[in-house]
Structure formats: structure tokens, C-alpha cells
Structure 1
């Protein structure tokens, strides 16, 4: 540790090996850890306002050093001791920062029309804080050999055990004129799970790349304020600490640290060149009080090299994160480490635009099973002895029955399916095994799907369920096959016979195995008896001719009737309103499209896994009800549109917005109308109205709006007694307008009054608190109008379990 003469810790002091540029800075408590592959005899410790101090290193490994710095005494009248908040005016560090802003667009790859480079990426996960109690634990009985690979972190000084490693070699092409980039994967391998693209894609999204010059650095679903941000002056304190030559380039050293706690900020330092104002080296360590879950430590290093005497390009990026349930110093966790190396830059060699739009449509197993000779040639730095040992250790570990059982349980908890490998079946979803509602009572459900690997060209799936109150058996079966990889031409079909709450969504699902949360709930407000017995047969053809733009054509036949004696879907079949029918038989032709720009997926089979979430979803659909076809009852047309967009708002948090609109042309009964989705659950469900009852508003023309903003703790973090709780503030607004024609009101013979919010738009608003105990969210919902409607609920509380960083 580093102290001043009074015994107070000195945060953000520079600590380097004497005679080198290898170093670090102390944390808020004055602690540091420094490691090198080279051997040095001394440390040099410096901080503005104190005398530089060299400390000898008598051994190759030195622990628990205590270093005391003396204040500068020669010219006290001229010395400024920097502590706490730094001035924004007359601060040379901020003058340099402004020059970085002015030159950032003329640095790096932005200077060139086109670029290409080789990239090597290594991601490793390690179990850390290894001690004798863990080694001797019964959990690792007959697996003790794994501890032969233990090492010590050069960043934290903690012991760790590598448990997984993934290597990736690729070539990147970019065009700044077209604003497009493409990465061609040449090889990928990992220890134990070499061909699992879902796992590989998860790792890629977990450690997505970022540009240090951007205002916000986005990872772990958070937006951290960059120390080079144009808003950095209001977020960080900056101190000009040193200047020196780094590989014949004169550079300035600037230390930075947050002005406030609990915000998504860093501490660290960077070296910047004095002519190009480009970053030469930078390290970033997330502030320990930052409002982020499950991550105890984040440390980043980036190095840049000089090309043609003036162009600084990134050559190395190192990212370490410490995942842990608790942030206490001695708590055990898992390190996630990513090292990315860049080489062989080539510029201004243009390629055709369709080169960047071309998609990889088929799984190439060779990419995931490259031989050792490929990695010897393409690996930009050799693996350490311990990293090499991970491959051998994981191969041995998978032969241990206890490890295989642990893997199976973990996989089932994540995916919701139990893998029955011998039969090539997945049993589940496990989380749907139990349910309850007023019609079925206790409901038991079992299901399975075929699964050979994630690139299956076809898949069958089915379920069976039984309600102990209605004593009825429900079932469903579906299948799909991928006919053409390039166009992603898929043919699917299936049949379902079930009980469902059809008033919980404006867009009718054509998924024969789909079932919404409102259909089965243990906790509701009021009765949950307005359920429908549905029999649905569907056949569909879909294709994706352009990336992330899917078109689909369906033909479906369904019958609808009430599942409860206290609820009905009755309608009149004649003008005199004397004949009533309770069952709806309907054939529909549906043409729909979904556009999701920016969506990332893994796998090449009939089903793919979405690996990111920050992209918009645009849906449009046209439905034609055909009277007489398969004894269908009604002839009508329906248009529907929805647009959902999640937004990252930088330091202000995250924002979600959804717009839905639709219109039905023709005379139809209640079961075919558009019901504004209420929510009588005590769960917060985005896209529904928690203060509306089911079937409270019925329309044939509608428009709805859902807005929600999560401040991410920005407000609570400034309140002293709330700061340490890391709570997050959430506000929401929901609105709906709709109307219903006289013809559609007259056909109604049910026990429901058709009321539409056509006099004025209906609205609700809510305030909520998230991240309670890191997993719980509570919303307080207020109804804005239509308070005189029978059984109107003016206020309610809903909650949800949320697992997020």
C-alpha cells in the first residue's frame, strides 16, 4: 500500500518498475498489485505534490509492501497538492483533453477510406480466490487434478484456476465511406465445447468491442462514461501527473477519477502523444461503487502503436472482469478475461458493397475444428503454460461423471431443457411444468423437442397438459424444416388444443405451441376465468431474403369458445338477434413481415438463438378472414403494425418505446376483435396495461403507446442514505385509443359490454424501484382516467424478478 506521512492512503498514485514503462496506479485504498515477466530490482512511486520514491525489491515476489510518500517541501508556495475535486479552469490536463476531442476523428482507422486487419481474440474464465478450504471441498472429490493449473493475477494478486478458454482468429474489413464492416472468421476453438456456437456467441456479446474515443463505452448492457468523453469534465477529475518518452514519442500522463460515486465511471490514467493528441496507452478500472450487479471488478488496458510516424492504431486490448455474488474483498468469484490483438493493417483497398452484405448461410465445421498448426501460425501471442493446460484439463474433466452431472444441471437451469442425449431429445421447458388458473385449477405440463445440435435442419416439438379442475387433456405438436439456407426458406405446421387468455395481446399469435403468461397465474387481481378453449391448426412458409427481414405467409384454422361457464363469446347470427352461436370457426390467410436491423444470431439451422437485445423490431401484418373455407364463419380484413425500440441513453439510463396500431374491416364477434391487453397478474408485463381488467376495452380500430425509462440509479445514487443500496428508478407511461363500429356492437351476444376508449385516450402511469436485493422490481401503477368504469382499479402494485447487470 501507499501512504502519506499521516498514514492516510494515497489513491491514484503511479507505481512503475524503475527503468521501465510497466506500471499501474493505486486504488481508492492506496492498494496496488504489479507483475511482470521481466525481473526488476526496484519500484518507483510518484504522485503530484509528493517526492518520487524508489523502493528496492529484495525478492522476485514481494507482498505486503508499505510505502510512505513525503510531501514536496522545496517550493511549498509553488506546489499544488491535488486531492478531491479538481478545477475545471486553468487545468492543463483539461486543456490536453480538449485537444484529444478536436483530433479524435483524424486518429486511427477514421483517417482511411477502407481498412483491413487481422484480429486474434482470447477469452478465458477462471475461478478465483482459491484457498485450501475450496481445494479440499467434497465438491472436487476425484477432480483434484484441476488445481494443477492455478496461477496468480497480475492485476489483483489473487490466485485463480482457469476453467475455460476460447480462441478466435479472424480478418476484419471496413469501409468508412459506406459505413460498413465485416468480420470473416477463420478459426475458433475452445476447451471442451469447440462447436457450441451459442456459447461462443454469448461470449462475443458479453465482451463486445468499443471505441475508447466514444462518449460512452457499452458492455454488460451498461453505458459507462468514457474518460475521453466530451462530457468528461463534468464526470471526472483530471490531473496532469507526468511527461516522458514512450518509444521515442513524447507523451503526457493524465490521471483521472470520478467526481461522484455510484455512477458508471472509471478511474485510471492514460498517456497521450503531444503532436497528434492520440492515446498511446490507457487503463480503466470501474469505480467500486458503480451501480452494476454481479461484477466486482472491471479492469481494461489498451495499447496503441505508431504507423507512418503519425497514425496511432490499437495493437492490444485487455479486459478483465470479476463476476461475483458479493463485492466484498475476500469473496470468491469468476474472472472473465479477454485479450484482443491486432496486426497486419492494410488501407485504401476498396471492395464492392455487396461484399459487406454477403451472409454466411451454412455451418462450416472446419472453422471450429482447426488443427494445432493453424493456431501456431495465426495466434499472435503464445499461450501460457497454464492456458495450454486448460485444454488438457477440460478434456479430462468431461470424463468425470460428477462434472458431467453438474454440467447437465447447469445447462438445464440456463436453457430450461434437460438434455436426453441418447434419444436426441430435450425435455421441457421445465419452467412450464406447473401452472394454475380458475378454469383448469392446477395444471401439469410435459413437453419435448428433437435436438441433435444447434444446426438441426428440422425440428419436432410437442407437449401434453392436464387440468385437475376441468379434468381435460390438452396437447400440441409442431414441426419445421429448413429447405434453403441462403434464403432461410422454412416450412412449418402444427396443431394445438388448449386453454388460453386471448385478451392479453393485440397481435394474434400463429405459434401453435405459444401460450402467454396471463393464461396461467398463481397470483391475480380478481377472477381469471375469462379463458378461451382454442383449437388451432396452422401451416406457414417464411423466408429471409435480406438480412434480418423476414416475410411469412400463414394459413390457419381455429375454433374458439368459452372455457368457463361464467364467460362466453356468444354472438348473434341473424339481424333479428334471435339466434345465438357460442363457437367461432375461422380460417385466416396472413401475410406478415418482421424487420429487426442490428439483430445478432447464432447457429445456422432451422432455429437460431438471438444473442443481443439492443435492436428495433418493426412488424406489419395483413389478415384475410375467408368465410366458407373449411366451414369458416366470417369474412373480414385486418391490418396491424407495431414498432418497438430499446434505446441506450448514455448516462441517463435506458428507454423503451412501443407503438401498436391496427384496424379490422368487416363485421366480427368478440373472439376476433382487438382487445386492449389488460393485466390482472401481480407481475409487471411490458406491453400490457396493469390497471385494466381483461376485456375492459374492446376495439376494431386501435393505437397504443408504451414508454418506460430506467434511470439506472442516477437519481438514487445522489441521495446519501440510498446510495449504497444501488436501487434503480423506473418511470412508465401507457396510453390507448380505440373505437368500435356499431355493426360490431350489435353482433355481440356475450356477457361483456363493448367499451372502447374513443372519447379520450385511456392512459396510465407508473413509478417503480428496481434492483431491490439485485433481483426484484416493484412498480406502483396509477390509472389516469375512465375511473367510473365498473370495477375500475385506480391503483395497483406489480412486481417482477429481473436478473441484469
Structure 2
């Protein structure tokens, strides 16, 4: 029987519903509140679990909890520091609401003395809370899992995203009636006071092995399951981005990555300088463990700092037994209405503690006062935690993370047996609901339209047209320019990809076009990591010499608006062959052959002197062989079927380029060698924000005309480009040897947060610095060798192209970002070479960015 026949589908659906009914008949669901038996006040952060199991949770700030099991459970175990542990009877296999009363069992500790002081100014000196946190800091190293020779554990990672507070009346509206099955799947128990409509779910079960000497951490993914939004939406890219926002948190690290930002940990070495600490309670647990409740708050509530509580042991280890981390409402954080991280630790066999469960919750919205938006929850649960138990070397061998072959094909039995946390009823329906949604024509039409608006492409099954923002542009050489193009999709072929476009300039009356064919050698999309493909292409088009803007395509409509005179172009013919190979360790290489023919356009020309006579060449042809070596350790991507974008991380990226020009090969006119090296590094600077630093150097061996020299990246648009010189003119500087440094520092409001008006506006400071050293050897100087192409001049005969002299080109900027949450505005200053024609010492540039 064909698996796609309606009969088979009906059979599978009936079987699924039958199995689901049997499972639901055993589900035990408990909604409840835990209160103090004496004063009837709700108790937050109480541990509640099904007795005799690892399935548990904690109460929220209102004392509420939700717990669910696919098995018939008969008892809850409820425990909280300072209270008697109770076993509370429940009805097996039923849904119920309960109120649990805990009786206080306080025990004073002799080790800590709490004194009341009236309105005394906070100080670190002689402060018992600060003395205690310093003890925690002193003992950080031994409380890390990496302090053991061997560590092994299993983890269950669940990520869920939901629409927040969707009205039940929405399903009654005409347009949404067809989506009623989605809208009715709301969850009102997981987060008391909020209703969640889950639309994304990802589950992963892993087994991790750690060895200290030689150090190696190896994680085997046993199973992974996620919703699939269909061909129009990048499900894997969404998942990668969500995981990047909700990074795994280690409270013992000096800095914690969360929501793409770096937060200073409350137990970082310098935390007493940025946090205020208070001893707010001293308790003894049911297991006779002595703890201190240590509350903390930022000294400046707008800085990227947590507030919350730490529960610290007094057994000599000064370990964190529990942590609650929250974002203050006044923090300079975009689109986040609230955020909370709960960390629970369990005792090891040696008396120290390991992370047992991590829960991260965040409420997203454009307006903090609105009730709608998105709500994300990531829960990581650990079990089978073994210390100092060595395994064979094979357990630590291989890449840091590997997937078992069947990891993404696990059946429901696997998930029932390996989930360390339960799914809510709403979560359990997400997979089937989204699958049903992707089959609806109305969804496909909407997703297709969004794809055009966001990515610029309109799909037609096996082919898609775009990008839309390049259909129309204009420039002084081509005048009004129209372009139309597209590419094949994954539905056309999983191994062969074609891309093409045609463009026409109404002023120069010339056609431009591009055609490429790519063949995947590893049976994966060419956009998937690791890449392994060959590509052949031909392109005939215009280009501004030295243009290399990172924010826009060259024929994008926005690029049409430029400052100053800009009529020196090139017509280029590129015949290219590329071979690309990436490896799992994130080392890659690219081999390339290019036959490149350049033709001057506009007011540009190729003039040289031969025996005293001026000759104008129409074409310059070169044949180049090149090799690019790249190493980007631990690099991750947002990957879609037709794109991928690197995720910014703390790890450096190394690039080494070698190009050899071969004379007389396919008409090549010059022989030369080019060497270029570059290092990019993103530095996280904790409360001081972050800095992007780039170091670059290049050298050309051989005698070449100026179009083959290093034409340094200039920018004559009004947009700020991080990787170009924003007050340098196109074609202004060339060199055959250079070194460059670029620093782009983002302070994330560290200074503005201390100024009341700017603090309220949530603006952020940004500073940049760029310096370019370089030179031109005499053999490549056309004033000494007139047989080389002469440097271009303006209409009055004054040169516009120069070599760098004894001083570097320097420019810098100070700016404000986060204006209206997405605009950056820079005041840029050029510090030297101000006598060159048509240059500006100052300029205002803008850039659109979206950051948390």
C-alpha cells in the first residue's frame, strides 16, 4: 500500500488517536497552590514532585504550580527550606486542583548573625552579605563540574515558544475560524495569570562525558524532535536562534550569555562592585542542610545585571544550592517584558552540588505594558550524574557534539521513556497541530507572502523569483536599471542548484547577466553545514572599484543614493569555478579559478605611456588561481533551505587568502601573487558591552596596474558600514602592502544609564576606530613606471587616487544606537589626508540594527 494513499493516512490517524486516548486515560494532572499553614500566604519556589519519581517542578512567585505525568500518580512530595516536608495524596489518573499547607520548622543558625539597621547607607565594608558572597567566589573553582577528573550525565532539553494571552474569542472571527484547532489549544496552568498558545517545541535527549586530563567534553545526542513549519519557514534556523537566545547557564561563570547579551554573574569576581547583597533568611532544610538566603540587586537597575536570590550552603563548600535570576523592569533590554532563570542543584555523593534543573522563562513584546506577545520557556533537566567514574577512551573521542544516526527518527516510546520532564496537554498537541497547519492552503499563501517581504523571494514551487529589493536601481553609468532573476529551490533538486538574473541599463543600453550552476557533493543543500560543492558561473555586470559594503547588494535600490561624485565604474566579465569543502571541526578551504576581464566605464579609463605615446586600453584580462583557508572554531549558523547566517560568538575567525595571477593563461596579461590574512574577534566585556575587532594585512608580489592593487574599501553612501571606511571616497587609496585595524565598541548604555534622561530613552553609546597603514613599492608606482595605468584624475586633471604615505589613514566615530530600538546614528570624523579632493572631515551616518 502506498504510504501517501488516503486509506493509509486515515488508518495512521485513527491509530494515533486511539493510542493518544489510552495515554490520556492515565495522565495525572495537578494544578495547585502551596501556602503557609499559619498566615495563609503563598510560598514561592517550593519543590513539588510526584513521590518516588524525578518528575517535579517549583512554585512560582504566587505559590502556584502545575505538574503532569503520563502515569497514574497517587502522591506529591512537597518540600521547602524552613518547612516540614509533606506527602500529599492525589487522585491517580485525574485532573485536579489542590491547596497544600506547609508548617514552618525554622531553625536558627549560629554561623550567621543578622542585625537590623535603620536607613544606613549600603556599604561593602563590614557587610556580612558581602563577606559571604566573597566566600562563594573563593570556592567557585571546586564547585564547578570541571573540578572532577571525570563527569558523566544525561540531559533532557525542552524549548517551547508560545503566543501570549490570545483571546478565545479570536476563533469566532471569520478569518480565524479555520484555525480554531490551534487557538483552542491554550495552556492556562503552566504560568498562572497567563494563557499560552504553543507554536514551537523542540526536545533533545543527550548523554555527556567529560574528562579533565587531557580535557575533553563529548556529547552524544540520543534523540531530537522539533516542529516543522514546512518549506516556507526555516524550522532549523528558528530553533538555532531560540537556543542561541536561551543559552545554557552556568552560575559559576563570571559572565552568563542570555538573550544574545552577556550578563555579569552575581558570583563573578567583581560582582560586589556592581551588585548589592543582603542576607534575607537563614534556614535548615529537611535534610539538615544549613543554607543562607542571599538576595541581590543591581547598583544601577538599568545595567545588564540580574536581581534575585542565591541559597548558599554553610558546609564549608559555600556552594549555590538554588538560584533565582531575574531581569529588572528598568533594564536597558529591548523587547523583553520579563525574564526569570531558576537553577536547582542536587547533592553529589561527595557532598558537593551539581545542576539538577535549569528553567529559563522570558516574556517578549514591543511594549512592556501590553499583555500580548511571545513567551519562551527552556527547561534542561539532568539525571544519572556520575563523578570520577572513568570510561573507555572511545567515550570521549570525536567531535564535541555528535548525533546518533537514528536521533531524529525516534518513536513515541523512546520519548515516553526518556523525557525527564512532562509535556503539558497543550505542548503534547503542538507537533500534530503545526503539521495540520502546514497542509492548509491559506497558511501556505501567507507564509509565501511573508517570505517575499522578509527574504525578498517569491516561491513558485521549484523556482523562486527575487530578490525584490534589486528589481530597480539607478547610477550615473547605467541610468535607470531594471533587474529580474531567481533561483531553483530544494524541491527542484537536493543536489543541483541554478541561479540567474538579467539586468538592463537604459542609459548605457547594455545588458548584464549572471548564471551559475552548483552541485552538492555530500547530498546536502549547499547552504547546510558542512558545505561540500562545486560551482561554475559567469557574470557580466558593473561594479564600483573598491566597493564591498556588507549591508546591501551592489544593485540594491538603497545603494543608488551616494554622496559626492561617483561616475567611475567597471564593466566586469567573470568566468569562475569554485570548489568548497567544510569539515566538522569548522576548518574549510575554497579553491577558485577566475578569468576576469575589466572594462572602464563612465569617466574611468586605462591610460598608459608606451614610448612616450598615450595608449588607452579597453580591456584588462587576468587569470587567477586562489585558495582561501578558513577556521572558525565552534561556529554555529541560522540555517535555512536557501540561506545561512553565522551566529556571532566569542570565538575568533581566521582567514588566509592566496591568489596567483598566471600570465598567458586564457589571455592573462600579468603574473603576480597576493597574500591576505584576517582575524575577526567578538569580545564580550560584561557590563561594558562588547567590541568587534578586526585585524587585516595584505601584500602583493609582482608588478601590476592599479585595478589589480588593493583598492581599499570605501563608502560613499549615507549608511554606516562597519567594515568600510565611511569618509573615504571610492578609488581614493590603493596599495600593494597594508595593515589595518578596526574596533567597533558597544557600551550598551553603561554611561547613558547613569544620566536620567538618557536612561529613560534607553539609548546606548557606540564608539569606533579604524586605522589603515600601507604603501606602494616603486615598481607599482605609475609615476615611476609610465607603462602602468595612470591613476585616475577628476575633470580638472587633479588626481583622485593615491598611495598611502608615511602616515596611516584614520577615522573614528561616536554614536548613539537603540534609537527607537533599531536605529544607530554615528558622527564620523576623518583625521588626515584632508587635502585630497572632495573629501569631508565630518559626516553623519546611520544604520538599522535589531538587538536585544
**TM-score higher than 0.5 here?**
yes
Q: Which residue of 2 aligns with 1:771?
A: 818
Distance 2:493 2:154 in 1: 28
Task: Measure, in 2, the Cα distance between the counterparts of 1:296 and 1:415.
Answer: 28
Quote how far apart the aligned CAs of 1:314 are: 0.9
The 3 A distance-change label for structure 1 pair 487 and 135 is closer
State how far apart, in whole Å, the 2-side matches of 1:580 and 1:469 are.
Answer: 23
Measured at CA, do residues 355 and 581 of structure 1 come closer, stay the same or move farther in structure 2, by a change above 3 Å? farther
1:220 to 259, 262, 267: 259
- CA drift at 1:418: 3.2
Matched residue, 2:433: 393
Aligned with 1:344 (options 378, 384, 390): 384
**CA 1:520–1:398 in structure 2 vs 1: closer, same or farther (change >3 Å)?**
closer
* Contact residue 458 and residue 606 of structure 1 kept, 8 A: no
Asked if 1:310 is matched to 2:355, the reply is: no
**Once structures 1 and 2 are overlaid, which stretch shifts more, 132-141 or 744-753?**
132-141
Which residue does 2:578 correspond to in 1? 540
SS in 2 for 1:579: strand
Q: CA deviation at 1:284?
A: 1.1
SS for the counterpart of 1:444 is strand
Match of 1:34 among 48, 52, 63: 63
After superposition, the Cα gap between the structure-2 partners of 1:227 and 1:545, relative to the gap in structure 1 and judged at 3 Å, is closer
Q: Aligned with 1:531: secondary structure?
A: strand
Runs of 5+ consecutive residues of structure 2 not aligned to the other structure? 1-32, 47-59, 68-74, 83-95, 100-113, 524-528, 794-798
* Structure 1 residue 750: Cα displacement: 5.1
Scaled by the length of structure 2, the TM-score of the pair is: 0.81
2-structure distance, mates of 1:261, 1:606: 42
The aligned residue for residue 293 of structure 1 is: 334
Residues 720, 219 of structure 1: CA spacing in aligned structure 2 closer, same or farther, 3 A cutoff?
same
- Cα distance in 1 for partners of 2:400, 2:534 equals 21
State the partner residue of 1:550: 588
Counterparts of 2:415 and 2:120, CA distance in 1: 49
**CA distance in structure 1 between the aligned counterparts of 2:131 and 2:483, rounded to whole angstroms:** 66
When residues 60 and 389 of structure 1 are mapped into structure 2, their CA distance, relative to the original with a 3 A threshold, is same
Distance 1:150 1:543 in 2: 46
Contact 2:648 2:682 in 1 (8 A): no
**Map 1:158-237 → 2, pairs under 5 A:** 158-193=194-229, 196-237=235-276
Check whether the contact 1:17–1:43 (CA below 8 A) recurs between aligned residues.
no
Once the two structures are superposed, residues 521-565 of structure 1 have per-residue CA deviations (whole angstroms, 9 ceiling, x without a partner) of 13211133222111101112233357222122211101101231x
Query: What is the match of residue 526 of structure 2?
Result: none
Q: Distance in 2 between matches of 1:318 and 1:44?
A: 18
Alignment of 1:258 onto 2:298: yes
Shift of 1:84: 9.2
- Tell me the distance in 2 between the aligned counterparts of 1:177 and 1:227: 29
Q: Does 1:379 align with 2:419?
A: yes
Residue correspondences, number = 746
Q: Quick check: 1:171–1:186 contact (8 Å CA) kept in 2?
A: yes
Are the structure 2 counterparts of residues 603 and 698 from structure 1 closer, same or farther at C-alpha, using a change threshold of 3 Å?
A: closer
Decide which of 712, 734, 737 is 2:773's aligned counterpart: 737
- Equivalent residue number for residue 536 of structure 2: 493
Q: Which residue of 1 aligns with 2:163?
A: 127
Distance in 1 between the 2:670 and 2:225 partners? 56
Q: Which residue of 1 aligns with 2:27?
A: none
Which of 449, 452, 455 is equivalent to 2:490? 452
What is the TM-score with the length of structure 1 in the denominator?
A: 0.85
1:569-718 residue pairs with structure 2 within 5 A?
570-572=606-608, 574-601=610-637, 610-718=646-754
Rounded to whole Å, the distance in 2 between the matches of 1:416 and 1:212 is 42
Offset at residue 433 of structure 1 (A): 3.1
Shift in CA distance, 567/85, structure 1 to aligned 2, threshold 3 Å: farther
Partner of 1:74 in structure 2? none
Residue number in structure 1 paired with 2:465:
427
- Aligned-pair CA distance for 1:364: 7.5
* 2:71 corresponding residue in structure 1: none
Gaps of 5+ in 1: 1-14, 26-30, 47-58, 63-77
Structure 1 residues 99 and 119: alpha-carbon distance in aligned structure 2, compared to 1, 3 A threshold: same
1:18 is aligned to 36
Q: Aligned-residue CA RMSD in angstroms? A: 3.4
CA distance in 2, matches of 1:354, 1:479: 42
List structure 1 runs of 4+ shifted beyond 6 angstroms.
Answer: 42-46, 59-62, 82-85, 517-520, 602-607
Q: Deviations over 1:59-84 (max 9, x none)?
A: 9699xxxxxxxxxxxxxxx9626879
Counterparts in 2 of 1:334 and 1:639: CA distance versus 1, 3 Å:
same
What secondary structure is seen at the aligned counterpart in 1 of 2:614?
Answer: coil
CA, structure 1 residues 733+627, in 2 after alignment: closer, same or farther (shift >3 Å)? same
Q: In the aligned structure 2, how far is the partner of 1:389 from the partner of 1:172?
A: 30
Distance change >3 Å, CA 552–CA 393, structure 1 → 2: closer
SS in 1 for 2:239: helix
Say whether the 8 Å CA contact 2:158–2:380 is kept in structure 1: yes
Shift of the 750–232 alpha-carbon distance from structure 1 to 2, 3 Å rule, reads: closer
- 1:340-370 Cα offsets, whole Å, 9 max, x none, are 1111123332554895444889x98742232
Counterpart of 1:72 in structure 2 is none
Pick from 77, 96, 100: which aligns with 2:136? 100
